[in-house]
Each structure stands twice: as structure tokens, then as C-alpha cells.
Amino acid sequence: MEINDKLLDELQQKAQASERRRAAMDLRNDANEQSQRMLNALEPGTVVPIHRHPTTAETCLLLRGRLDEIFYDDNGNEIARHHFNTANGVYGLQIPAGQWHTIEVFEPSVILEVKAGSYEPSHPEDIK
């Protein structure tokens, strides 16, 4: 599969039509793989709960658009804001394991998310 503008456009159309204002595409070959790779199309107004991945870092790369990745402390206080903008040459970051985070989307965007280990749904204690 080639990751190109046509694919990203189609994924963004799904996000626009979604009640959640986002759409994901799993890039794994099967559910038993020991990595998590996905494209995530995000529209302004989508709500991603503040969450963490307690045992793995997450790589987040912006392929198109503009958004902020926001870090929080254990009490829910914002401690850092990272501005991703392809027009300015800022494409992403490595989110440390256990770091509380979310995003704020300013224009239609697509990110690539990569984490180690097989997929596990978030546990309630890992969502604020």
C-alpha cells in the first residue's frame, strides 16, 4: 500500500463524516503484530481524552495539517505544548512512556502513530 495524497484524502473524508471527527487506519499486517502503527485523520473539534501509555513511548508524526500535542502532569495541569505544523517544518515528537497527553487540532490533519507492543485498549486509570 502506498501512502499518498489520495489515501490521506480518503481518510480525511471519513474523519469529516465521523461523529467523532476522526478516522484511523490500522497499518499492521495482522492484530498479533508486536507493534502498533496507524494513520489517524483528525478534524478540528475532535476530542481525544487526556491519556497515557504506561509501558511504551509513542512516536507521533504529522503528515499534513496543524495541531498541538499537549503534555500534562499527574494532576491534569498542562506542562508543555508542542506545535506541529508541516508548513513550518515541525513534524512530531517522541512521547515518553507514561506521559499524559492529548491533542488540539487547528486544521484537518493526519498523523502517523507508532507504539511498541501489541494493541491493548486503554485502561480506565490511563484516561483522565
Place of cell 508524526: 61
pLDDT tens, position by position, 10-48 = 999 999 999 999 999 999 988 888 889 999 999 999 999
The reported pTM is: 0.92
Looking at domain 5-28+36-117, does it have CATH number 2.40.320.10?
A: no
Give yes or no for a contact between 60 and 34, defined as CB atoms under 8 angstroms apart. Answer: no
Of the pLDDT bands very low, low, confident and very high (cuts 50, 70, 90), residue 83 is very high
pLDDT tens, position by position, 4-15 = 999 999 999 999
C-alpha triplet 16, 18, 19: angle, nearest 5°? 120
What does the domain layout of the chain look like in residue ranges? 5-28+36-117
Give yes or no for a contact between 126 and 74, defined as CB atoms under 8 angstroms apart. Answer: no
Beta strands in the chain (DSSP E): 22-26, 35-42, 58-72, 78-85, 92-95, 100-116
pLDDT tens, position by position, 41-68 = 999 999 999 999 999 999 999 999 999 9
Q: Which amino acid would we find at residue 21?
A: R
